[in-house]
Chain A
Amino acid sequence: MADRFPSPFDIETPAGAEGWQDMYVYSSLFSEARREFEDSIFWFQDGVHWPKVLTPWDATFYEFAIASLSQYNTRHLQVPPANGIAFRILNGYGYLTPVPADPATIEARVENFMDRAGFYFMNWNDLYDKWMVKIRDLVKELESVNFEPLPEIEDADGVVKSGAGLGSGYQIQENYRTLLDLALKLWNYHFEFLNLGYAAYLDFFGFCKQAFPGIPDLAIAKMVAGVEVDLFRPDEELKRLARVALESGVAEAFAVGDVEQTCEILKGSDAGRAWIASFQESAEPWFNFSTGSGFYHSDKIWIENVEIPFDFINDYIVKLQSGEDLARPMEAIRAERDRVVNEYAELLATDEDREAFQGKLGLARVVFPYVENHNFYVEHWSHSVIWRKMRQLGEVFVKEGFWSEPNDIFYLKRTEVEDALWDYYVSWATPEPPAGPGRWPGIIDKRKGICKALATWKPVPALGAPPEVITEPFTVMLWGITSDSVSAWLGGGDAKEGELRGMAASPGLVEGLARVIFSPDQIGEIQQGEILVAPLTAPSWAPIFGKIQATVTDTGGMMSHAAIVCREYGLPAVTGTGFATTNIKTGQRIRVDGNNGVVTVLD
């Protein structure tokens, strides 16, 4: 078995992807300038959030997210042992490495952390209430950002006589900068609480493991998990709409299987129109829901692709008609959670232990709603709005002949979009022909070719020399990177013939036929009773969880969004296997052991 992964400097560029480096900002690349540092440490590919090639503009969220995380660990809270996470892009894929704090600084950091983090824990609920206000205000601001083609002449009253001294040409540039500022602000907000939430969770986790060395990770997750979680709301809204359709007698409209026809039928009756109004109520905000991680412009968003929620609603209508009860048994879920907590508490050795257990559980439960809910507000809702606004801007450029379709804008770096806007502004002001239409189509075409070539490259799971043990708490919790998974990767994933190991993310043991899916667009291929095998799953796949028997993913930890949803839906899941989509083929018979984190190919 190898003792290290390839050096980032030895990774070759796939044929046809030459020049890929030009798609990203120089600071996100491995470079000779910091080779010594970059070659001395361990990097892992973040397939949990960025499993696919990043187009140039999509790298924005990657960079904003990780930088914000780092800033909170290092500069705001001073998490004692952990600095931030360094990030790079290699062959279009994101690689991360946790940076430890200098041991000499730890004492001073502890003091700061106790003060700063302590304040957050003490005032968690107030601060979280404020967060909710901040994030909703931010979405409102995002919604108010608009990109319209520049006018032939400025409006007399609205612009000229207003005395503002500014016009549309200035405004469109400011709007883009505002959009970027809001995106960065969004990611600052995202990490205001997240790592603190994990820290409190880990404290309870560590206590449980000490009291009960054999306690399953998911038992701990189960004790902390909330019963009503915003991340499940979109799915609940689908069920509600299915019920409304049946109750108001418009369910038949969904059987035609075509959104436009369904809408036509619905518009033809009072009940149908009422249903549409009801749908629109659910859609804002709950269908600002991505079919992927939310980090790619290509991920489909329910509200922009209503055929997706319509199909799910139809599935639910069929289930309701066959007598299935889709309601989540809230009382039973609560009672089960109480039972689990009480039984473990009873098994503890002393009253002192029970007191500590309840105290830690209490704090973990205070912080956990943020951990569970933020994903909807940030990656789904806010991102959906940003993708929409960017497409709106892309459309403006299409009208001016800069490129041919709105999504082409994502093949520009975020700074290049400013350049293009400047070009557009100047040529509008002068007027004169813009230079962009002669420049961008060629670049965009070339970059599409590069992205295609990069997509054929299977990213190596890690780079460089792994540490002896992986202990960095957030790396383990969020990314599922453990000493075990690293040694499995080093062994190439074939430690035992036909066997894959990963996280025991949700319990249960089943056998069935595999369905390997690489993108959300393939969701429709899944047949009743199959086992879903995917690079990762998104919370928005929940409606198909009624169809499948189990889930296996390449990436993800105990707290990855996929793991949370699998547990919620009671499906066995093994996450973070590294190679499931490579080693398993659709139609093969496999066994998924969600209790032990083992997947076996039986054919």
Chain B
Amino acid sequence: MTSVTMWFEGYWPGLKGEVGGKAASLGEMTGAGLPVPPGFAVTTAGYRAAHDAADLDATLARLLHELDISDTAQVSRVCSEIRDVIRTMPLPGEVEKQIRHDYSELCRKCDVEDLPVAVRSSATSEDSPDASFAGEHDTYLWIRGGDAVVDAVRRCWASLFTDRATCYRVEMGYEHRSVEMAVVIQKMVRPIAAGVAFTLNPANGDRSQVAIDAAWGFGEAVVSGEVTPDNFLVDKVLLEVSKREISNKAHEYRLTDHDSVEKAEVEPERAQVPCLTDPQLKAIAALAKTAEKHYGCPQDIEWAVDADLADGDNIILLQARPETVWSKKPRQSVTGSADKNPMASIVSTLMNPLYARRD
């Protein structure tokens, strides 16, 4: 039997069926050197064990027997009852133990007691819409502590039996007892600083540079344009910072004590200083470069420096998507006719020295 859980680092493509699309993608990124927030998945084996231990088959057979999917009141009542059963079913000892063990391990890695995590479903079948229906209501943020985590896992499982998903299966003649679900448990990012990065210079399309915009706290401030971010250019090959413009970053989005995000003023002395160190800039540029290589085209990424992770491991990739402005333009060759004849080229260089020494 497959293990009950899988750390993102332990992913290989053979596990995709047991961990679902989301966990597979996180595992693949981790393996490719794209550091997503750390975490693990509860596999379908975990679900299956719980399913069998609670004898869900019998419950499902009893409750779904003669379900009339045109009777929405009945559907709603029945599905709600099934979800209640799942939400309250006891877990087999080894499943619960493993989830709690991995969660404590994650807390230990981040050196935070009752580490806040996000708990999300991870669909196991791309073709069947079961799980994607289930995906409608199955993300739980700021979950703290082993009990709450186990509870959130069960709630994710329960979302297999939303009204829509259930009706769909009846309509298509699919077996309810064969559906399965994996669940992702992942650290909530607590950013010291965050922002975006492009794997080219958006001002002139220079592919040898990574452009980084960064501000204190959560990335919303940068993305929404509420704060003028620090702006950096890093050479993609040498990973050296070639330009830095430090702004007055007057506001930031930061966490309150009760796990919500608030907009706050930044103390003047902190507002004026760079929100990233050179090693952090290099790490972000390296991350952007890895993403570009992995996806095979220029990227526009969101990243954060996590407060709970150790230096060297604290740059987190939140999102990567293709860059769209320069990538759409055809790339221009810079080789002129003179460049093909070395002497003509040297003469042209001497006659038209083009090098401006600084931008």
Contacts and interface: CB of A to CB of B under 8 A. Distances in A.
Interface residues of B, number: 39
Given A349-B332, A349-B334, A484-B358, A214 B208 contact: yes
Contacts of A81: 350-351
Contact of B236 (A121, A347, A508, A597): A347
8 contacts: A200-B342, A200-B346, A202-B353, A212-B206, A340-B237, A347-B207, A349-B334, A471-B353
A205 B355 contact: yes
Interface in A213-234: 213-219, 222
Interface string B208-238: 1100000000000000000000000101111
Contacts of B350: 79-82, 199, 202, 473
Given A214-B233, A216-B242, A360-B342, A80 B355 contact: no
A357 B226 CA distance: 43
Contacts of A352: 333, 335
A206 interface: yes
Contacts of B331: 349-350
A355 B334 CA distance: 11
A209 B349 CA distance: 12
A214 B358 contact: no
A206 B339 CA distance: 11
Given A214-B233, A344-B208, A353-B334, A473 B349 contact: yes
Contact of A117 (B237, B244, B346): B346
Contacts of B242: 214, 216, 595-596
Given A199-B350, A363-B342, 5 more contacts: A80-B350, A81-B351, A207-B339, A214-B235, A216-B242
Nearest to B277: A509
Given A340-B237, A344-B208, A471-B353, A214 B359 contact: yes
Contacts of B345: 203, 207, 360
B223 to A, nearest CB: 24
B240 A507 contact: yes
B235 to A, nearest CB: 6
Contacts of B359: 213-214
Contacts of A348: 334
Interface of B: 201, 204, 206-209, 233, 235-238, 240-244, 278, 331-335, 339-340, 342-347, 349-351, 353-355, 357-359
B295 to A, nearest CB: 15
Interface in A283-341: 339-340
A214 B347 CA distance: 24
Q: Among the interface residues B204, B208, B233, which one has the most CB atoms of the partner chain A within 10 A? A: B208
The number of chain A residues touching the other chain, given as a range, is 35 or more
Contacts of A498: none
A490 interface: no
Q: Among the interface residues A114, A205, A216, A484, which one has the most CB atoms of the partner chain B within 10 A? A: A216
A207 B346 contact: no
A213 B240 contact: no
Contacts of A595: 240-242
A287 B242 CA distance: 38
A356 B340 contact: yes
A343 interface: yes
B343 A118 contact: yes
Nearest to A598: B244
B1 to A, nearest CB: 45
B278 A353 contact: no
A359 interface: yes
Contacts of B342: 121, 200, 203, 359-360, 363
A473 B357 CA distance: 12
B206 A216 contact: no
B355 A203 contact: no
A113 B353 CA distance: 17
A353 B237 contact: no
A333 to B, nearest CB: 14
A145 to B, nearest CB: 39
Given A213-B204, A350-B333, A114 B339 contact: no
A421 B93 CA distance: 107
A110 interface: yes
A429 B209 CA distance: 76
A206 B335 CA distance: 11
Interface string A565-597: 000000000000000000000000000000111
B351 A476 contact: no
Interface string A494-525: 00000000010001110000000000000000
B235 A206 contact: no
Contacts of B206: 212-215
Interface string A164-201: 00000000000000000000000000000000000110
B333 A353 contact: yes
B240 A216 contact: yes
Nearest to A363: B342
A159 interface: no
A502 to B, nearest CB: 11
Nearest to A480: B357
Nearest to B358: A484
A255 interface: no
B209 A214 contact: yes
B354 A209 contact: yes
A206 B238 contact: no
Interface string A540-582: 0000000000000000000000000000000000000000000
A229 to B, nearest CB: 20
Given A349-B332, A596-B242, A214 B201 contact: yes
Contacts of A82: 350
Nearest to A473: B353
A359 B204 CA distance: 25
A575 to B, nearest CB: 12
A112 to B, nearest CB: 11
A118 B6 CA distance: 65
Contacts of A430: none
Contacts of A206: 349, 353-355
Contacts of B278: 509
Contacts of B243: 214, 596
A45 interface: no
Contact of A203 (B201, B236, B349, B357): B349
Q: Among the interface residues B332, B346, B349, B354, which one has the most CB atoms of the partner chain A within 10 A? A: B346
Interface string A69-106: 00000000001111000000000000000000000001
A456 interface: no
Contacts of A121: 342-343, 346
Given A343-B237, A352-B333, A507-B240, A476 B353 contact: yes
